[in-house]
Amino acid sequence: MKNEDQARSHKLEARPSRRGPGSIAAGVLLTLIVALPVIMAVAAAVYYIFGPAEGHFHADSADTLYWANASFESGKILDPTFRYAAVLPFSASLWMTPLIAVFGFTMTAQNIGMMIFVLVFCASLGYFCRRAEMSVGWCTLSVGMTLMILSSSDKLREVMLGHVIYYSLGLVLFFLIAGLMLSVSSRGAALMSASPEAAPTSKKLLFGLAFIMLVVISAGAATDGAEIIVLATLPALGGVAAERIFDGNRRVFSRENIPAWIALLGVLAGTLCGVVILKMIARGVTADHTNIYSTYSDTGSWMDNLLRLPTDYIRLLGVETETGDAIFGTRSFVTVIRIIVCVILWVCPLAMFCLYRRIAYRATRVMLWSHTVLSGVILFGYICGRLSDAGGRLSPMVGSAVVLAVFAGRELAHCGRARLMAAGEAERSEAEDAAVEEPCPAQTNGVFDGRIELRTGLALLLLLCISAFASFGDIVGMPSDYGRDNEAHTVAAFLEENGLEYGYATFRNSNLLTPLTDSRVKVRGIAVSSEDGIYTDLYQSSSRWYDESEHGKYEKYFILLSESEYNAIAETGSWRELTSSAGVAEELRCGGWHVFVLRSDPQFVIK
């Protein structure tokens, strides 16, 4: 036996290596081809972030940067002196805060931070797809198409590539929680089916690690508040639980379902811990946008909200036409494809429920239920609540619908291929019977069914690919310096040219100009009205910014007002009192803007 092993070893050594230069080059080429969808999508997203995005940048786009800066300046997870739009400690602040420490409060930190978020989004979706038993090729195709379709319009690009808010963050955390739940379920089932002696220690460790990560991610999601629990945790929980409950092959609390319930308990335990942590770190912190998700709209507006839904949804996916646009043209072709994709995203879940018993992959059923839960929550908030105030709040529903459509295309393609292969084997065994007995036209034909399923799946994926490629073309076709000559950049350059470093403006201008100038000009928020005059606006601001002992002394200060803002307060007592006490050194004009240069830091009324 020993001699045979030695002989076999000599033969292996004598055999020429297959890993020659040609083989390595072929392997690299194959890897690039498989990864091409993700490479193209990420490249387009990064190009947009570092190029055209600055032309679309506005005050709301800077909120992630402001939250990270609040943590950096205060040295705390949440700054009690800062008035947040939303409290999201388990978010982009995790990497934006270190970026601000390195690059300062600048557009560089903003752009690198958003690039990291794109990579995190791709990694989370890729992980979920792998846990759904997709091959690497299917994963890259799914990630690439989803990222590009979620960049179809200005609003979707703002949500996904402009800043990190509930809608984009909710998708990332949903993918992670759902993927980890699938991992815990599958690894637990494998351990339970194997004997204690046959189960290797490595598999037990991987199961334990997946469970710990599930608890940690669930806790982190809960620290982002009830909105993320509803947008991420609840759909993941609902998807896994509903798939087990409506599985007629076994009892709900059978031994086979124990790993799924363990995963569910892990999410619940993590969520409870996260809620407790949030209560501890958020004392004294206010968030203005939370009431949007927890309040009803007037019942008289519900029908209007419902009627607005199709238009907002279709515009999110990049369908924008005007009266007189040509129906027959290249641009019209893209519009028609996007309309078809919109219809598919609505119809696909309904069709999948009709064919629920024929869905082969468990992960597809989980995704179907998760999308249903998420869509139900968003539609309820959109119609009966206040989510209809902004169409971009439908974006999580769009994201989950796109992923579900990809899963459906894969399901059809795989099942159709499997049916064709099975039918091919059956044809050989039935050849003699077919020669003797004439087949009935109504008889089930495996080849026919297989071809229909395969072609339907490929057609669905082709439509999604065309829509994704259209978004890719839209982004690549934008000039890299798009919007650099817009009004905001003009005003920012004007302030710098006049040596102004610290001043005040209304929110839409203050929170835009500071990052655009890389903090060379610091502009803080104020509010103006004809009734109350001029006063502080602490929304997305720190109270330290209005105290000279905190923000430091400057040679001169300024107040930036538009024509309408100035006309509203020019005759108010608070404006006359403020300009008298601070001393107006000069008044500058930049187009339709008034810039009042002051000798001292103005003392605003605090509200």
Could you tell me which residue, 353 or 283, shows the higher pLDDT? 353
Q: What percent of the chain has pLDDT over 70?
A: 90
Of 50-54, 205-209, 286-290, 582-586, the one with minimum mean pLDDT is 286-290
Site of tokens 């429920």: 353
- Residue 427 to residue 434: CA distance in whole angstroms: 9
The residues facing 535 across adjacent strands are 527, 605
Judge contact between 219 and 273, C-beta under 8 A. yes
- Residue 207 to residue 190: CA distance in whole angstroms: 10
Average pLDDT of 170-190? 95
Q: Which of 462, 366, 372 shows the shortest CA–CA distance to 128?
A: 366
pLDDT on residue 1 = 46
Average pLDDT of 192-209? 80
pLDDT on residue 426 = 55
pLDDT on residue 289 = 67
- Residue 384 to residue 306: CA distance in whole angstroms: 9
pLDDT level of residue 387 (50, 70, 90 thresholds): confident
pLDDT level of residue 198 (50, 70, 90 thresholds): low
Most confident among 135-139, 250-254, 411-415, 558-562 (mean pLDDT): 558-562
Site of tokens 């036996």: 1
Residue 407 pLDDT > 60: yes
pLDDT on residue 442 = 41
pLDDT level of residue 465 (50, 70, 90 thresholds): very high
Residue 491 pLDDT > 80: yes
DSSP for 108-171?
HHHHHHHHHHHHHHHHHHHHHHHHTT--HHHHHHHHHHHHHHTTSSHHHHIIIII---HHHHHH
Judge contact between 387 and 292, C-beta under 8 A. yes
Average pLDDT of 176-197? 88
Can you give the three-state secondary structure of 530-547, one letter per residue? CCCEEEECCECCEHHHHC
DSSP for 241-294?
HHHHHT-TTS-TTSGGGHHHHHHHHHHHHHHHHHHHHHHHHTTT-EESSGGGGS
Judge contact between 183 and 210, C-beta under 8 A. yes
pLDDT level of residue 432 (50, 70, 90 thresholds): very low
Give Cα 420 to chain centroid, integer Å: 38
pLDDT on residue 565 = 94
Q: Which of 112, 243, 139, 125 shows the shortest CA–CA distance to 173?
A: 125
Residue 191 pLDDT > 90: no
Q: Give the pTM.
A: 0.91
Measured CA to CA in angstroms, residue 430 lies from 271, 291, 390, 423, 425 at distances of 57, 67, 60, 10, 9
pLDDT on residue 31 = 75
Could you tell me which residue, 23 or 81, shows the higher pLDDT? 81
Task: Return the SS3 of 606.
Answer: coil
- Which two tokens mark 458? 């490929």
565 Cβ contact list (under 8 Å, min separation 6): 506, 528
- Which two tokens mark 434? 């077919």
pLDDT level of residue 448 (50, 70, 90 thresholds): confident
Average pLDDT, the chain: 89
